Amino acid sequence: MRIDVVSIFPEYLEALNLSLIGKARNDGLLTLEVHNLRDFTTDRHRTVDDTPYGGGAGMVMKPEPWAQALETVRENKRPVLIVPSPAGTVFTQAMASTLAQEDHLVFACGRYEGIDERVLDWAEGSFDVLPLSLGDYVLNGGEVAVLAIVEAVARLLPGVVGNPESLVEESHSDGLLEYPVYTKPSSWRNLNIPEVLLSGNHARIARHRRDEQLRRTALRRPDLLEKLDPAGLDAADRAV
């Protein structure tokens, strides 16, 4: 997979050199380049913003530097252009799985009041444009959203996470939250792990974990349970 990120704060994305994503880049599983939007300006102040038409607070990102940057990274195919925005569709694990199938993702990091809307309209001609939100709150810029989305997508690429089994049982992989996990020692500060985990009985352990998934999801995210088909849920439950 190839990923290009355009930002006025390329340093923000340096975290993508670390840990599993950094290793995936070193191993050639992922090609990731960060571009400074100011390199695509033509004035001596390298201006990327201007006042909003219609008035109002804040500044808006000018369209032409964006067009220049996006034309440069596009190459020949039709990449997915992800535009982080609190006004976008909320990013989910299902979207991460879909995006992990793509060859080329381009991220446009907004700042100030966001990017001139015409950039998205223009980009529709040569990109699949996807405005994505991390959640219902407002950040200062798209960079944090890019870190989150790239990490969620890249860890699904073959070879990035050492044991692919660990991706199967995670929160959101089956629409439920993951069960609680424990490690040694079995007793710590007067807190004991659930007895069943020491039983060696795999069927009982699977039942216990499934019950904990359902209990935790009902408690913390009842909205997720409501989205699941009850018949499918019952069938999955009987299979445990």
The tokens describing 7, both together, are 């930002």
- Least separation in angstroms between residue 47's CB and ligand SAM is 17
Q: Which is nearer to ligand SAM, 5 or 109 (CB)?
A: 109
- Least separation in angstroms between residue 207's CB and ligand SAM is 38
- Least separation in angstroms between residue 146's CB and ligand SAM is 9
Place of tokens 């799985």: 97
- Least separation in angstroms between residue 137's CB and ligand SAM is 6
The tokens describing 164, both together, are 């692919």
Q: Which is nearer to ligand SAM, 107 or 179 (CB)?
A: 107
Residue nearest to ligand SAM (CB): 110
CB 88 within 8 A of CB 131: yes
Distance CA 180, CA 91 (A): 24
Q: Which is nearer to ligand SAM, 30 or 130 (CB)?
A: 130
Q: Which is nearer to ligand SAM, 80 or 139 (CB)?
A: 139
Q: Which is nearer to ligand SAM, 1 or 6 (CB)?
A: 6
CB 110 within 8 A of CB 144: no
User: Residues in the site for ligand SAM, rule: CB under 6 A?
Assistant: 84-87, 109-111, 113-114, 133-135, 137-142, 145
Judged on CB neighbours under 10 Å (0-12, 13-18, 19+), 21 is: buried
The tokens describing 173, both together, are 């992989």
Binding residues: 110, 134-139
Distance CA 55, CA 51 (A): 8
> In 3D, which of 154, 129, 147, 143 has the Cα closest to residue 74?
129
Binding residues for S-adenosyl-L-methionine: 110, 134-139
- Least separation in angstroms between residue 132's CB and ligand SAM is 6
